[in-house]
Structure 1
Amino acid sequence: MSARRKSRRLPPLSGVLVLVMASTGLVVVDLTIVAVGLPLISADIGDGASAESVVVTYMVAMGALTQVVGSLSDRWGRRPLFLAGIAVFTLSSLAATVAPDLLWLDAARVVQGAGAAAIMVNAIPLLSDRYSGEERDLAIGAWGSFATAAGLLAPVFGGVLAEAFGWRAVFAVNLPLGVAAWALAVRVLPRSPGTAGTAEASEAPGSPGSRGTGRTDWLGSLLLMLGLGTATLLMLRSGDTPWSGRDTAVLLTACAALTAFLAVQLKVPAPTLDLRMFGSPAFSGAMLAVLLSRVLTIGGSIHLVLYFSDGLGMSPTGAGLLMTPIFLAQIVMGMVGSKLIGDRPPGLVIGAGYGLKAVGLAALALLITPDTPWWALVVPLLAWGAGGGIAGAPVMAVAVRVTAPERVGMVAGTVSTLASLGAGVGTAALGSVFALSGGDGAQAVTDGTRTVLAVSAALAVVAVITAVTLVGPRRVPARVPAGEGGEPAPAGK
Structure 2
Amino acid sequence: MPQPPEQPTGDLNSPTAEPSSRVAESSARAGRAVLALVVAASSLVVIDMTIVAIGLPDIRRDLGGSLADVQWVMVAYLITMGAVTQVMGSLSDAVGRRRVFLLGAALFTAASLACGLAPGVYVLDVARAVQGVGGAILMVNALPLLSHQFEGERRNMAISTWGSAATAVGLLAPLLGGVLVEWLSWRALFLVNLPVGLAILALGLRHLPADTPAPGAVRTVRWPGALLLVGALGLANFALLRGAGQGWTSAATLLQSASALALLALFLRGESRARSPLLDPALFRAPAFTGAALAVFMSRVLTIGGTVYFVQYFHDALHLGPVATGLLLAPVFLAQMAAGMAGGKLLTRFAPGHVIATGYACKAVGAALLGLAFPSAAVEAHPWLLVLPLLVWGTGGGIAGAPVMAVAMNVTGRDRAGMVSGTITSLASIGAGLGTAALGVLYASRLTGAGSATGSGATPSPEAVATAAATVLYASAALATLTLAAVLTLISPRHAPAPARKVFPG
Task: Map 1:134-213 onto structure 2 (within 5 A).
Answer: 134-195=153-214, 199-200=215-216, 213=218
Aligned mate of 2:475, from 442, 449, 455: 455
Task: Map 1:184-263 onto structure 2 (within 5 A).
Answer: 184-195=203-214, 199-200=215-216, 213-237=218-242, 239-242=244-247, 244-263=250-269
Contact 1:338/1:393 (<8 A) preserved = yes
CA–CA distance in structure 2, aligned partners of residues 88 and 480 of structure 1: 43
CA–CA distance in structure 1, aligned partners of residues 360 and 134 of structure 2: 32
Aligned residue in 2 for 1:6? none
Find the residue that maps to 1:273 and give its secondary structure: coil
Go from structure 1 to structure 2 and tell me whether the alpha carbon gap of 1:167 and 1:18 turns closer, same or farther (over 3 Å shift). same
CA–CA distance in structure 1, aligned partners of residues 169 and 363 of structure 2: 22
Aligned residue in 2 for 1:371? 379
Structure 1 vs Structure 2 CA RMSD: 2.1
**Structure 1 unaligned blocks of 5 or more:** 1-10, 202-212, 482-493
One-letter amino acid of the counterpart of residue 371, structure 1: V
Aligned mate of 1:391, from 394, 400, 405: 400
Aligned residue in 1 for 2:87? 68
One-letter amino acid of the counterpart of residue 238, structure 2: L
CA–CA distance in structure 2, aligned partners of residues 313 and 117 of structure 1: 35
Task: Map 1:45-444 onto structure 2 (within 5 A).
Answer: 45-49=63-67, 50-195=69-214, 199-200=215-216, 213-237=218-242, 239-242=244-247, 244-369=250-375, 370-371=378-379, 373-437=382-446, 438=448, 439-440=451-452, 441-444=461-464
Contact 2:358/2:396 (<8 A) preserved = yes
1:377 Cα offset (Å): 2.4
Deviation larger for 213-222 or 81-90: 213-222
Find the residue that maps to 1:51 and give its secondary structure: helix
CA–CA distance in structure 2, aligned partners of residues 271 and 101 of structure 1: 41
CA–CA distance in structure 2, aligned partners of residues 342 and 222 of structure 1: 41
CA–CA distance in structure 2, aligned partners of residues 82 and 238 of structure 1: 33
Go from structure 1 to structure 2 and tell me whether the alpha carbon gap of 1:157 and 1:368 turns closer, same or farther (over 3 Å shift). closer
Find the residue that maps to 1:323 and give its secondary structure: helix
Greater Rg by CA? 2
CA–CA distance in structure 2, aligned partners of residues 254 and 427 of structure 1: 19
CA–CA distance in structure 1, aligned partners of residues 311 and 225 of structure 2: 39
TM-score by length of 2: 0.86
One-letter amino acid of the counterpart of residue 134, structure 2: G
One-letter amino acid of the counterpart of residue 167, structure 1: W
CA–CA distance in structure 1, aligned partners of residues 55 and 463 of structure 2: 31
Aligned residue in 1 for 2:10? none
1:424 Cα offset (Å): 0.6
Contact 1:358/1:456 (<8 A) preserved = yes
Aligned residue in 1 for 2:24? none
Q: Residues 458-487 of structure 1: CA distance to partner in whole angstroms, max 9, x if unpaired?
A: 110111111111101221266589xxxxxx
Aligned mate of 1:39, from 37, 57, 69: 57
Deviation larger for 430-439 or 469-478: 469-478
Aligned residue in 1 for 2:45? 27
Q: Residues 256-315 of structure 1: CA distance to partner in whole angstroms, max 9, x if unpaired?
A: 111212222211111111110100000001101111121122222222332333334444
Contact 1:17/1:127 (<8 A) preserved = yes
Contact 1:134/1:479 (<8 A) preserved = no
Aligned mate of 1:15, from 21, 24, 33: 33
One-letter amino acid of the counterpart of residue 15, structure 1: A
Contact 1:305/1:320 (<8 A) preserved = no
CA–CA distance in structure 2, aligned partners of residues 153 and 111 of structure 1: 24
CA–CA distance in structure 2, aligned partners of residues 47 and 376 of structure 1: 41
**Structure 2 unaligned blocks of 5 or more:** 1-27, 453-460, 502-506
Aligned length: 457
TM-score by length of 1: 0.88
Aligned residue in 2 for 1:489? none
Contact 2:42/2:138 (<8 A) preserved = yes
Q: Percent of aligned positions with the same letter in both sequences?
A: 50
